[in-house]
Structure 1
Amino acid sequence: MKTSTVSVHYVNACLARARQAGLDTQPFITRLDVSPEILLDPTARVPSEEYVRLCMQLVKATNDEFLLLGGIPRTRPGTFALMAHASMPAGNLRRAILRFFQFYNLLLDDLHFKLSKRNDEAIISIRFDNPALDWDHQTSDSVLVLLHRFFSWLIGQRLELTQVSLSGEPPVHREEYQRLFRTRILFNQARDSLHFKQKYLDNPITQTEASLKEFLREAPYNLVVIPDNDDSLTAKIRNIIGNDFRHDFPDFEAVARSLNSTPQTLRRHLKQEGTSYQEIKDTMRRDAAIYYLNRSQLTINEIADLMGFSEPSTFHRAFKKWTGLTPGAYRQNSDQEMM
C-alpha cells in the first residue's frame, strides 16, 4: 500500500506548464482521481501516485521531460534513462555527478548544473539563464529532488543534506520542503542548491545494470517519494510505528530506547531534520487516511478506527486540521469527480 502524498501545488504547477505549452488540461484533470475543488485549496494534499501519473501523461503529451517550459523543447522522453546508464560506470559519486552535469550542460542551453566545494561541504547548484521561466519554482524543486533521490540511490544510502538553498520567497507550501529534504531550508538565496559533506563524493557506486533496470521501471514514482534507502531518523521511526494504527503508538521514550538514544537527544536530532515525533505520527495517519478515502469502500467511521481514533469526531477534527477539509467533504469531492 503506497500512501505517500504531495502538496497540491505541484499538481497545479504541472497543469500550468501544460497550459503554457498549449495543451487543453481539462482531459488530464478529468482523469485525475482528485476533485477540482481540492485543486483550488493551496493547503490540500493529493496521493503521490496521482501526481506521478499526471506527470507521465504530460511528458508524453508534450514529448518533453521539461514539459516545454517556456515554450522551449529540451529533452525527449527517455533522456533521463540514457543519462542514468551513462552514470553507472563512473566508479564513485564525484565522477557520477560530474558525468551527469556534463551530460545535461551539453544538452541544455538555458539550465546549468555545477558541483563546487566550500570548506568541508560539497554544493550542487542549478541555475536558469532566465529565472522567470520557472516562475513558481516547480522545475527547480523537481530537479533538486531528482538529483537528491538519484544520487542517494547510486551510492545505496541516503545522501544526508546539511542545507538546501532556494532562490524564491517562502511559499504557502514551505513545509513540503522539510518533508522532501529533511534538513535546514533557506529561502531568498543566490542559487538553488543542495549542500552535503564532501566525504560522500568518494562513496562508490553500488548499483548494477540489473538494479538500474528496476529503478527505471519504478521511475518517476521513486523520485517523488522518500527513497527506500532513507536511513534518516524519520524513516527509522516510521518503521518502528509500522502501518497498523489501530494500536496505541509507542511513546516517545520507548522510541528513543529502540534507537539507543535518549528522549532529549532524539528530540534534538529530529529538530535538525525539521520534524518532531508528533508530526511524523500526524503525517503517517494523514496520508493513510487520504489513501483510504480515495480508494476504499470503507465508511468514514471505519477509517477513523483504522487510523487509531476511538471517536469519529476526533478523527474529523484531526483530518480537517491536516487538510482543510472534513473526511466527508474530501470523499464527496472525490466521488463527484468520478461521476
Structure 2
Amino acid sequence: MAAAAEKGSVAVAFVIKAVAALRRRGVDELPILRAVGIQPHLLGSEHSRVQAAQYSALWLAVASALDDEFFGLDSRRMKVGSFATLCRLCVHAGTLREALGRAIGFFNLLLDDTQLELEQQGDTVRIAITHPTHRALPDQVFAHETLLILLHGVLCWLVGRRLMIREAQFGYTRPQWWREYLAMYSTDLRFAQAQTAICIDAAYLDVPVKQNEKTAREFLRRAPYNIILKYKDERSWALRIRRRLRNTAPESWPNFEQLAGELKLASSTLHRKLEAEGESFQRIKDELRRDMAIHLLAEGEDSVADIAAALGFAETSAFHRAFKQWTGVSPGDYRRVPKRR
C-alpha cells in the first residue's frame, strides 16, 4: 500500500495536452493510450487523474511517434535523444552555475520559438521564458510547463536535492489545474505576469554538480518518470506528514492532534505551517488515498469493496463518492483501464 502512494498521479489536463500533440500531426492517439494503460474515456472528465508512470510512458510514446520530446510545441523539433544529450553535457560542469549556463544554451540551440534567459539580481536568480520569433505556439501554456519541468528536473538531479523555487511567475491566467503547480513549482505562484519565470536563491549557483556519466545512465533509464514526480522538498511539513502516513495503514492514521504531538508542535502551529505551504491535513490524506486507489484499481486485482476497506472507508458507497469527487469517474469506470503489457 505504501508503495502505491509513492507512485503519484498526474492531472488528466496534461494527458489531454499530450494527446493534442498527436492529433495536430494526424497520429491516432487510441493505440498509444491503450498501450500505456490510459482509458480514453478518462479524458472526458476534467477531474480525472492517471498514474505518473502512465503519463511518463505516454510522454515517451508521443516523443517516439513525433520524434519530438517537446510535444511539437516549437517550430523546431526537440528530437528524441536531445534530453539525454543535455544530461550528459551537464554532468561535466563543476557547479550548478556552469550547468545552468549549459542547459540554457542547449535549450536555446534546440528550440526557436521558446527560449530561456537568465538574470541575477542580488541574492536571486531569475530564469525567464521568452519568445523571440513571436510565432503563435500550438499551446503556449503547455510549452512553458514542459520546458520548466525539464529544466528544473535536471537541475535538481544534478545537485541531488530539490532546488526551492522562491517565486514562480506565469505569463498567463491561472489554469484550472493550478493546484498541480504547488508541487511542480512553488507555493508562491503569480499568474497574469509579463513573463513566465522561476526565481531561485543565487547561493544554489555555487553548489557542486554531483552526477557523472554512470549516474546519468541510471537517471535516463527512469526518465521522464523521475522528473514528473519531482525532487521533494525535504524540509516541508507536508512531506514529513505524507511519509508518516505512508508507513501506516489508512485505518490507523493518527488524527491531527495526535500527529501534531508526534511532531512536537501545537495543533495551531502545525496548521499554520501547512497553510503556509498551501496544504492542509485533509488534502494530504485525500491525495494519498486517491493515489493509492488509482494504483490499486489500475494494477491490482482486489475488489472495489476490498480497496475501500484497505483505504479506511467504513462503507464502499463512501469510497465511490470520494473517488468520483477526486477523479470525475467511478471506481468501476476507472477499472476499465486495460493493464499495460
The TM-score, its normalising length taken from structure 1, stands at 0.91
Question: Which segment drifts farther, 233-242 or 302-311?
Answer: 233-242
SS in 1 for 2:92: helix
**Aligned runs of 1:253-268 on 2, under 5 Å?**
253-268=257-272
Instruction: Report runs of 4+ in structure 1 exceeding 6 Å deviation.
Output: none
Partner of 1:158: 162
SS in 2 for 1:90: coil
Asked if the contact 1:123–1:196 (Cα under 8 Å) also holds between the matched residues in 2, the reply is: yes
SS in 2 for 1:123: strand
1:273-296 CA deviation, whole Å, 9 max, x = no partner?
Answer: 221121111101101101111111
Aligned-pair distance for 1:243? Answer: 4.7
Aligned-pair distance for 1:200? Answer: 1.5
Partner of 1:299: 303
Partner of 1:219: 223
Partner of 2:68: 64
1:187-209 CA deviation, whole Å, 9 max, x = no partner?
Answer: 11111111122222221212233
Taking the aligned partners of 2:181 and 2:18, their CA distance within structure 1 comes to: 18
Among 21, 28, 38, the alignment partner of 1:24 is 28
One-letter code aligned to 2:89: A
Asked if the contact 1:49–1:221 (Cα under 8 Å) also holds between the matched residues in 2, the reply is: yes
Among 118, 125, 130, the alignment partner of 1:115 is 118
Aligned-pair distance for 1:264? Answer: 3.2
SS in 2 for 1:137: helix
Question: Which segment drifts farther, 237-246 or 94-103?
Answer: 237-246
Question: Which segment drifts farther, 27-36 or 213-222?
Answer: 27-36
Aligned-pair distance for 1:10? Answer: 0.7
Asked if the contact 1:246–1:305 (Cα under 8 Å) also holds between the matched residues in 2, the reply is: no
Q: Per the alignment, do residues 315 and 23 of structure 1 end up closer, same or farther by CA in structure 2, a change over 3 Å counting?
A: same
CA-based RMSD of the aligned residues comes to: 2.2
Partner of 1:124: 127
Which segments of 5 or more consecutive residues in structure 2 lack a partner in the other structure?
Answer: none
Partner of 1:198: 202
Partner of 2:86: 83
Partner of 1:319: 323
How high is the sequence identity, in percent, across the aligned residues? 35
Asked if the contact 1:164–1:184 (Cα under 8 Å) also holds between the matched residues in 2, the reply is: yes
Taking the aligned partners of 2:36 and 2:20, their CA distance within structure 1 comes to: 15
Aligned-pair distance for 1:259? Answer: 4.0
Please state if 1:100 is matched with 2:137: no
Taking the aligned partners of 1:151 and 1:232, their CA distance within structure 2 comes to: 19
Taking the aligned partners of 1:76 and 1:281, their CA distance within structure 2 comes to: 40
Asked if the contact 1:156–1:229 (Cα under 8 Å) also holds between the matched residues in 2, the reply is: no
Taking the aligned partners of 1:97 and 1:134, their CA distance within structure 2 comes to: 27
One-letter code aligned to 1:101: I
Please state if 1:135 is matched with 2:146: no
Aligned-pair distance for 1:250? Answer: 2.1
Partner of 2:212: 208
Asked if the contact 2:73–2:139 (Cα under 8 Å) also holds between the matched residues in 1, the reply is: no
Q: Per the alignment, do residues 261 and 86 of structure 1 end up closer, same or farther by CA in structure 2, a change over 3 Å counting?
A: farther
Taking the aligned partners of 2:18 and 2:251, their CA distance within structure 1 comes to: 39
